[in-house]
């Protein structure tokens, strides 16, 4: 596994697209949070107030954040199918062939 940390930083004027989750706790309480930043959340009496306060919290938080892209390259062994090492292990086993045939026959029996 190889990790590469980029020195590239996102421009401050770029557009950041986020998803807001609104959860009505009860008739007088709405919880709002960003799916991408679940630690930034707010509870308010109305949906409009929750959205306004949530946006304000986000802007306050973004002033102190730095986003650094990180690339992690997995080795070939870590990205492959781990079960492939077992493929064909019973290829020439007559006992397994008999068991597999019995299983196929049992599946085809009409109950």
Q: What residues in the chain have per-residue pLDDT under 70? A: 1-14, 76-80, 111
- C-alpha span between 73 and 78 (Å, rounded): 10
CA atoms within 13 A on the CB side of 83: 0
C-alpha pair distances (Å), 111 with each of 1, 17, 45, 106: 52, 56, 59, 10
Q: For 107, phi and psi rounded to 5 degrees?
A: -65, -30
Q: What is the pLDDT of residue 86?
A: 84
- Return the pLDDT at 50: 95
For residue 70, the model assigns a pLDDT of 82
pTM above 0.75, yes or no: no
């Amino acid at each position: 596994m190889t990790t590469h940390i980029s020195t590239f930083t996102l421009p401050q004027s770029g557009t950041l697209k986020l998803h807001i989750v609104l959860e009505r706790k009860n008739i007088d309480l709405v919880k709002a949070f960003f799916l991408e930043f679940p630690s930034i959340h707010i509870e308010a009496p109305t949906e409009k107030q929750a959205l306004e306060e949530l946006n304000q919290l986000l802007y306050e938080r973004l002033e102190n954040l730095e986003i650094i892209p990180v690339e992690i390259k997995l080795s070939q062994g870590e990205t492959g199918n781990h079960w492939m090492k077992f493929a064909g292990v019973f290829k020439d086993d007559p006992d397994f062939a008999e068991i597999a045939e019995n299983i196929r026959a049992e599946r085809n029996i009409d109950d």
